[in-house]
Amino acid sequence: MKKIIKNSLLMLALLPPLVTQAQFNKTTQKTRMTYPETKETTIKDNYFGTEVADPYRWLEDDRSAETKQWVDAQNAVTRKFIDQISYRNQIKTRLTKLMNYEKYSQPFKEGAYTYFYKNTGLQNQSVLYRQKGDGEPEVFLDPNTFSKDATTSMADINFSKDGSMLAYQLSEGGSDWRKVVVLKAADKTVVGDTLIDVKFSEIAWKGNEGFYYSSYDKPKDGSQLSGMTDQHKLYYHQLGTPQTADKLIFGGSKTPRRYVGASLTEDERYLVISAANSTSGNELYIQDLSIPDAPIVNVVDNFDKDHNIIDNIGSKLYIFTKLNAANGRIVTVDAANPKPENWKELIKETENVLRPSAGGGKLFANYIKDAVSLVLQYNMDGKLEHRIELPGIGSASGFSGKKEEPALYYTFTSYVYPATIFKYTVSTGKSELYKKSGVDFNPENYESRQVFYTSKDGTKVPMIITYKKGLVLNGKNPTVLYGYGGFNISLTPSFSTSNIILLDQGGIYAVANLRGGGEYGEKWHLAGTKLQKQNVFDDFIAAAEYLIGHKYTSAAYLASMGGSNGGLLVGATMAQRPDLFKVAFPAVGVMDMLRYHKFTAGAGWSFDYGTSADSKEMFSYLHHYSPVHALKPGVRYPATLVTTADHDDRVVPAHSFKFAATLQKDQGGDAPVLISIQTNAGHGAGKPTDKAIEEMADRWAFMFYNMGLVYKP
């Protein structure tokens, strides 16, 4: 999880047999929805003596005609409901206008050129440009030309050290499975064959002759999109040779690992290998490439903590580690004797969570302090040189580049500060504006405030609440409560153009920094894992109660929102406290906690979740909160719009299919339960702009309508 399937509206005459005319009767909030029939089977599983029914197991088969028929029928019902909302197209028009501004990425230097991504406004995929000196920028690669419907995206790009060669990854339909194309930068001619079946991989060039990459064997049983991918392997590809001749470097039967990644130090002396079996904790290895046939040397031989090499000077390695430092620290060691007992502390652990980077011959300590950024610059001897003056309270990202670069770039953003790029001069520690956002938004008219509320067990949890200045807190403001709470991921402030729609309707956007995330380090993360996962749900529920108790909103105007692990959060909390929310938006969620580990790379999430096979206690705990299993017949659940995608091969769509089918059956109230399934889309990355706008328009229209509100243009 670390590092949705929408069909066109079908005409009634073309609807699949499962959909009847009665299902398209005029639907209002006061009329009980009629849904496509979802057949139930008698499949049961036995977990430590407890039988658990799984009546919708058949929906796990994403290749079957029966599943496709169900998807088409559900999409048709959803489309019919949303399209009858009179102001839905007004929202889409407003979103389209808001999104129509130039967007830039931070520039980066490769060889004689400076590269950057640019979107003129409504392009489905951002275009990669390059510029030599002060010359005119030219289009280098345009992903909009890769497919007719712009659903093929450029997922990543990596250049060789001198910038003369590059490899870029293609994602088709949002899938995590990638193709790799190699080019000569000078004339963009293709070199060799396109690599296929690459997944969860960086590209690490070794000179201009070849590169390292990672992948899994294709699933032998079941669908490529849902079949289990368990053992990651690191390969070396020599240019001019077939992929079948690629050399296995690490992984496989001798060193089986679920996740394997590789990088090279900037001087290309050391190959750095990270190996892990879950999303937390990794082994660390190095290989000295300056010595022919040098062995791969183990640096850290266990999965207890996180570590990575961020820089080197000759044989001196700079390592970021959480060993004996839950919030992270930087140590140095000589590569000849790299074991932890030889590490020397360079930058000590602090009370704030560290996310380091290197560039311009310096180290940058980017700390998370109460979910916002604090950035310090150190020299390579660990001496503090500058505290970077940021434009305000928010999130700063970047501060990385090649050693010789005199200037680096970073992006600053907050919930009321559109993403803005700054140029940072390393020698002076001064920032200057490089690219200002062109979005039609005046930050002076809005405000964000951070509050700390008390969760069920007394823990203080931060939440940032954003709204238009002068808003009256009368309990009637449409409010979105967003959360994630997992995998050590920190939710730091970031601007969303889509949220302008909510804020300009007198709405409130609240983000709770739940346990399970990384905002306060390892302890905060662990407090929301396995048998403590309920803490995450309690934190989210307490956030909702805070918003209601302080009259920001009320249950009649509150929506919950989250994706992936956040989709699990929304599903679990609406099952536990359906009275708190009027609307729920679980996106690409992990909904079947008893079987999640049986699909794609799901088994790697067990550090956070545990699995139903671990023990009777773990099974019972998962079974209790698993959204698919926690729903009860006859309960009045919130109006729910489930979203997923046919090419989501990270959290397979079967999770959302089974949850939607169960919720439609169990719904005891009049609120609609709909599922929108995008086609040629995946877990979220690389989604075309037009699909994103359609999805956002559906979401806001569904929310306002079910709250009994009318959108005001």
Q: Which sequence positions are flagged as catalytic?
A: 564, 683
The answer to whether 202 and 213 are in contact (CB under 8 A) is: yes
For every residue of 237-280, DSSP letters joined together read: EETTS-GGGPEEEEESSSS-BSEEEEEE-TTS-EEEEEEESSSS
Cβ burial 139-164 (10 Å sphere, 16+ → b, else e): ebbebbebbeebbbbbbbbbbbbebe
Separation between Cα atoms, residue 53 and residue 56, nearest integer Å:
9
Sheet-wide strand order for 372-378? 353-359, 362-369, 372-378, 384-387
**SS3 at position 234:** strand
Distance CA 596, CA 55 (A): 16
Which contiguous run of DSSP H or E holds residue 447? strand 446-454
Of 163, 154, 237, 253, the residue nearest 203 (C-alpha): 237
User: CB–CB of 377/426 below 8 Å?
Assistant: yes
State residue 410 phi and psi, 5-degree precision.
-145, 155
Determine contact, residues 509/489, Cβ cutoff 8 Å.
no
- List beta partners, residue 386: 377
* DSSP for residue 186: T
DSSP 210: E
What is the spatial distance between Cα 489 and Cα 509, in angstroms, rounded to a whole number?
A: 20
State in Å, rounded, how far the first CA of the chain is from the last one.
Answer: 37
Q: Which residue has the tokens 């920094």?
A: 513
Please answer whether residues 445 and 473 qualify as being in contact, where contact means their C-beta atoms are separated by less than 8 angstroms.
no
Other Cβ atoms less than 10 A from the Cβ of 472: the count is 9
Report whether 272 contacts 226 (CB < 8 A): no
What are 308's two structure tokens?
């990575």
Residue 644, phi then psi, degrees to nearest 5: -155, -170
Q: What is the DSSP letter of 58?
A: G
List helix spans (H) across 454-553.
499-503, 522-526, 534-549
| Pairwise CA distance, residues 684 & 588, whole Å | 9
Q: Which residue from 681, 666, 680, 669 is spatially nearest to 632, judged by alpha carbons?
A: 666
Rg (CA), the chain: 25
How crowded is residue 9: how many other Cβ atoms within 10 Å of its Cβ?
12
Give the chain's largest Cα–Cα span.
75
3-state secondary structure of 619: helix
Q: What are phi and psi of 689, to 5 degrees?
A: -60, -40
Give the C-alpha separation, 700 to 26, whole Å.
20
Instruction: Compute, in degrees rounded to 10, the torsion defined by CA atoms 4, 8, 9, 15.
Output: -100
Query: Measuring CA to CA, which residue among 171, 147, 121 is closest to residue 693?
Result: 121
Rounded Cα distance between 688 and 148, Å, is 12
Q: How far, in Å, CA of 387 to CA of 409, rounded?
A: 15
Which residue do the tokens 């060039």 mark?
205
